[in-house]
Amino acid sequence: MLITYQATLLEKTEIAPEVYLLKFSYPVDPDWTYKAGQYMIFHIPKEENGHPARRLYSIASSPLEKDYVSFVIEIIPNGLGSTFVKKLPVGEEATLQGPAGLFTYKDSERDIVFLATGTGVAPIYSMLKTMLETNSTANKQLKLFWGMKYEKDLYLLAELRTLAEKYDNFTMKICLSREEKSDKPHRLIGRVTHGLDEMDPGTMNNNDYYICGGPNVVESLKKYLAEKNVLQDQVYFEKFT
């Protein structure tokens, strides 16, 4: 159910350079909920091209959590939404509208591969946490390949490790494109496609693929999968703009 409400910023933590985890108050409407993977529309108190400014941010928390709604937001220099988010102090209110978006779990018999870059991991983390903690995909193998540049840029590591240690059907690899080597667990050196290259080509069509990241990355990964003969209706995506 889409609503507009005044959300109080409960917590704000810089979890990596210029990346913030924000927790907002949950709507008081007892019927309100959202699906893992959806986003909220932030009303920015500025005008843009003669209209009230809006920005879309994916929800990072799980619908199972009823005390807050959280977001992982990267600060873009001079960005209208970024400037608002960075300046917003704990205790202040922001107008949020939602939920919206179709980047949600589509049930099938296939295993699932998640492909994320940067903060594109936020809605995917929401999906993973929800799927695993409700046992709704207990009969499926879930894999995450998350692309980042450097080790220092990483966040949500403790949360992802906890899921990987608790649930045998979830594995993850963090693909570091600018590092020369890493001896830490769950790491690969290279881009997200390096993780896909490790998969058996004969089993590529046994999976559904959920992709989230910038437009160029999403299109590149869709093209990669098409070249591996993965059917288009097995690929779901969300582009950050």
Answer yes or no: are the C-beta atoms of 56 and 42 closer than 8 Å: yes
- Would you state the pLDDT for residue 198? 83
Average pLDDT over residues 215-234: 94
Average pLDDT over residues 225-237: 95
Range of the domain at 67: 3-100
Q: How many CB atoms are located within 10 Å of the residue 116 CB? A: 26
Average pLDDT over residues 45-73: 96
- Would you state the pLDDT for residue 32? 95
Average pLDDT over residues 14-42: 96
Residue 241 has pLDDT above 80, yes or no: no
Between the CA of residue 239 and those of 43, 118, 229, what are the distances in Å? 20, 12, 22
Specify whether 196 is located in the same domain as 119: yes
Answer yes or no: are the C-beta atoms of 41 and 55 closer than 8 Å: yes
d(CA 23, CA 71): 7
d(CA 47, CA 178): 38
Per-residue pLDDT of 97-148, as tens digits, reads: 999 999 999 999 999 999 999 999 999 999 999 999 999 888 999 999 999 9
Residue 233 has pLDDT above 80, yes or no: yes
Per-residue pLDDT of 141-183, as tens digits, reads: 999 999 999 999 999 999 999 999 999 999 999 999 998 888 8
Q: Which residue has tokens 């695993």? A: 132
How would residue 82 be classed by pLDDT, with cut points 50, 70 and 90? very high
How would residue 201 be classed by pLDDT, with cut points 50, 70 and 90? confident
Q: How many domains does the chain have?
A: 2
Specify whether 125 is located in the same domain as 212: yes
Tell me, yes or no, whether 164 lies in a domain.
yes
Q: Which residue has tokens 């409700």? A: 134
Look over the chain and give the mean of its residue pLDDT values, rounded to a whole number.
95
Answer yes or no: are the C-beta atoms of 221 and 193 closer than 8 Å: yes
How would residue 69 be classed by pLDDT, with cut points 50, 70 and 90? very high
Tell me, yes or no, whether 106 lies in a domain.
no
CATH code at position 190: 3.40.50.80
Closest to 172 measured CA to CA, from 198, 153, 150: 198
- Would you state the pLDDT for residue 202? 83
- Would you state the pLDDT for residue 54? 96
Specify whether 135 is located in the same domain as 212: yes
- Would you state the pLDDT for residue 106? 95
Domain boundary pick from 37, 69, 100: 100
CATH code at position 25: 2.40.30.10
d(CA 228, CA 126): 28
H helix runs in 135-214, sequence order = 157-166, 192-197
pTM for the whole thing? 0.95
